[in-house]
Amino acid sequence: MEINFEKYPLPKRIRHHSSPNLYFKFNEFKVKPDYYPPLYESIDWSKYFLNAKKPDYIDIGCGKGLFLLQISELEPDKNILGIELRKALVEWINNFIKGEKIGNAIALWYSVINGLSFIEDESIEKIFYLFPDPWHKKRHFKRRVFNSETVAEIYKKLRYGGKLYIATDVAEIDTYHRKILSECDKFDVETVLVEEQWGLPPTNKELFCVKENIPTYKLICVKR
């Protein structure tokens, strides 16, 4: 998908990290933060998707939205929901979607750490978790979204046979992902060795990795 950045200029300042508050559950705060994404009990999908149906795919941490927008173009019969912590990027993606009249994609300002209760159980075909922030420092490990609780939530929302796609450019994070998945023991995990196995368009981060010759690590996890 070609994006005219003169017509749709990206926000001038895009922080790599969001406020630390956003990486923790809302109900854990003794003093509620002023700046925090909305919580949702349910969503009327007719307000988001042209066909008024629920999402088929979820892109967790959709970033600048290149992957989300490409999937929406490649698979126009599928609804894709992007979830992102950085509000400015969510607003930019949705402005592009509105301007280009894309009816099967939307970005939501939301923190996945609060769960996905607004998504129907066993309803999602594919969930993408691509190139998450590795949070290298030990004191920041608690900010990692990928944990046993989140994986259990993802499992619950996927259809049987549904797929979770995971990618990172950090070997230690790949090992960490595998450990969490092994402890969960509810997915058949396939290591991607050639791109033909993957079959997905690149994210912004992946394009950077290809340009800089940085290796990537990819998993396809199928719900049993």
**Where in the sequence numbering do the catalytic residues fall?**
133
Question: CA 173, 63, 30: angle at the middle one, nearest 5?
Answer: 75
Written as six digits, the tokens of 51 are: 């066909």
Cα separation, 50 vs 63, in Å, equals 23
Three-state secondary-structure class, residue 196: helix
Cα→Cα distances 2→83, 84, 100, 205, Å: 22, 21, 11, 17
Report the residue count for the chain: 224
Q: What is the largest CA-CA distance in the chain?
A: 49
Three-state secondary-structure class, residue 100: coil
CB 67, CB 130: distance < 8 Å? yes
Pick the closest to residue 154 from 166, 168, 171, 142 (CA basis): 166
Written as six digits, the tokens of 53 are: 């149906």
